[in-house]
Chains A and B, each alone.
Chain A
Amino acid sequence: MSLIIAQEGDVYPIRKITGNDETKRFLNSLGFVVGEQVTIISKNGENMIVNVKDSRVALGQSMASRIMV
């Protein structure tokens, strides 16, 4: 499923990042790679703050929807 429908407070391993463009490359460099664990710290509407590789990243809805967990 996509990260947007994931629950606050839960931990998920990343299964896939869809698309193949600069955005994906950027997500990769931030630590979003297949197999990595993401924790959802807080959700604010469609936006969310997640923890990945010990850093906190704020994601907009369109970014979060590309991360499959």
Chain B
Amino acid sequence: MSIKIGLAGNPNSGKTTLFNGLTGATQYVGNWPGVTVEKKSGKYRKNKEVEIVDLPGVYSLSPYTLEEVVTRRFILEDRPDAIINIIDATNIERNLYLTTQVLELGVPTVVALNMMDLIRKNGDTLDCKKLSKLLGCPVIEISALKGQGIDEVTQKAIELAKQRKSQEFTLPVMEEIKVSLSEIEKMIESSKVNINTPKRWLAIKLFERDEEVVKSLKLNHSVREKINQCIEQCEKVLDDDSESIITGERYAYIGNVVGQSVHKAKKGSDTTSDKIDKIVTNRILALPIFMVIMWLVYYISVSSLGTIVTDWTNDVLFGEMIQGNIQSFMETANVAPWLTALVVDGLIGGVGAVLGFVPQIMLLFLLLAILEDCGYMARVAFIMDRIFRRFGLSGKSFIPMLISSGCGVPGIMASRTLENDKDRKMTIMLTTFIPCGAKLPIIALFAGALFGGASWVAPTIYFMGIAMVIICGIILKHTSTFAGEVAPFVMELPSYHVPSAKGVLIHMWDRGKAFIIKAGTIIFVACGIIWFLQSFNWSLEMVDADQSILASIGGVIAPIFTPLGFGDWGAAIATVTGLIAKENVVATYGVIYGITDATEESADLLAMIAANFSTVSAYSFMAFNMLCAPCFAAIGAIRREMGSAK
């Protein structure tokens, strides 16, 4: 018998960490709300019969955003056999708001209390047994991060699922509401609707005038009228709208439960997070601090430490060790010279040129992952909101843009967290200007070749991307499609915490792996083709690169780019191949100039480029490649997301 268990909880309460712990998966976890936008499922590592479904984080079951709809539909329509409701113990009141709604749905539920270590650190106490008794469901303490208690919770959930007993929970309410609810319940009963959700829940939803439930029940007109009268009467007596009445009752109940089970050491003093927030989100200091942090990130990963590692990989690892050895091996094995050239100059030269940047890219992602996991990035969304709003974007657009600094494709996907359709489309269109991981080698290559690794080059290109986003945002805002108000900004800010090494590494790998995979596939093939084109002329004779097919094609395209200052055929070809994947720009140079020469230190790729570009034309080339059309994969993702949005 297979069992399906759903993981439900507030955003950023640790669902995905728990999911990874239970299934052994390495889903990406971020320290900001809304990382999981789609439900994901996996098999429980200790019992393959059990399917675990990670649901997007929600604050309640009255759908506000797309992810709330996903979660609610799953519980209502797919009917999991049990639910693990994960709760952030440091924030118990707000988390229990969802719990009361989940319990009402009648699905057997286990509450997993996460982050109890923080409660203890604050000197507070929380009585699990008492809480369990009050809620009427098992409550188990866990630490999702350390993997403590997670198997107990799952065992309990499996046990409950096997008993097939539905969850009992009735929200205690005031007498007036109770009367109305039981009347509505009677009416539901008499109209004989066949839905396997508890009547009490339906009654509450009808009382709240939940449109989706009203529609799905298909009650006849006279019954609906009667229910409405019933609600209005209650509203009149209590002098409030029905929804607020229920919300009030829920919080009153929660307040009572928390009062009996939680004891706070002391109140009033600022937490560490509050203190940090006072500084980093300060009206005057916020932006300078952000700029300095971003400059440091790029300085370390691209200019200083990154260059050292990359130089070693390019010159020693690929230049001498791999390329040199394979060349001598192939020569001694008497392989045809053209094949040796293809493998050594074409494939290894091109792919190597790209792979050489892996350390730099991984370093960049590592730093960004640390910033994200410690909680700073969520603040940046808040800081940026004030600026983004001026040109019609929400601060939440910053998150997709940040992810785009790894790869545009997941960045575009992440735009789903934006509630407003219009904001989302605009974010998708603008994210592609952010220098993605694949564009980074271009920056690094040229910055190293011509600017002597000057530390201002990489950050200025990065800020230029942001500037383009701003300019295009202003332009788009004035078009009729995107005119109008931006959705109001509300976002929960997570507590600051020291990021875990495992989390940061998973995160870094998640974004970096696409780069390595691409190097082995698309770029591998493209390098072969480019090598062929640049080694042969139209009559298929092996010639110097200057007389090759590639040179003649490049010569035709080059004049287009002359106004930009980089009109030689190599640059033209590199730009065009960059459309397939941005890494190709660097790979193309690797092939054209042949890094075989890189063994002699003086004539490496950097020097070749330095010889062919002036500083101005190189900056222009970089800028153009940053800002022109994104790669095919991103264009595909844009089409998918924009299409589905309609």
Contact = CB atoms under 8 A, between A and B. Distances in A.
B59 A57 contact: no
B244 A58 contact: no
A44 B286 contact: yes
Scoring B91, B94, B490 by chain A CB atoms within 10 A of each residue's CB, the highest score goes to B490
A31 B241 CA distance: 18
A18 B360 CA distance: 51
Interface string B481-506: 00001001111111100000000000
A59 interface: yes
Q: Is the interface of A mostly helix, strand, loop or mixed?
A: mixed
A23 B65 CA distance: 10
Nearest to A32: B490
Interface in A1-59: 20, 22-23, 25-31, 33-34, 36, 41-47, 49, 51-59
Contact of A29 (B62, B241, B281, B389): B62
B236 interface: no
B382 A58 contact: yes
A37 B297 CA distance: 39
B94 A28 contact: no
A35 B385 CA distance: 28
A25 B60 contact: yes
Q: What is the interface residue range for chain B against chain A?
A: 35 or more
Interface residues of A, number: 33
B277 interface: yes
Contact of A57 (B92, B278, B283, B492): B492
B197 interface: no
Nearest to B273: A56
B490 A60 contact: yes
A44 B283 contact: yes
Scoring A23, A34, A51, A60 by chain B CB atoms within 10 A of each residue's CB, the highest score goes to A60
Contact of A30 (B62, B94, B244, B382): B94
Scoring A22, A36, A42, A59 by chain B CB atoms within 10 A of each residue's CB, the highest score goes to A42
B574 interface: no
A28 B385 contact: no
Nearest to A33: B251
B90 interface: yes
Nearest to B378: A58
A25 B241 contact: no
B94 A26 contact: no
Contact of A25 (B64, B283, B381, B493): B64
B274 A45 contact: no
Contacts of B383: 44
Interface of A: 20, 22-23, 25-31, 33-34, 36, 41-47, 49, 51-60, 62-63
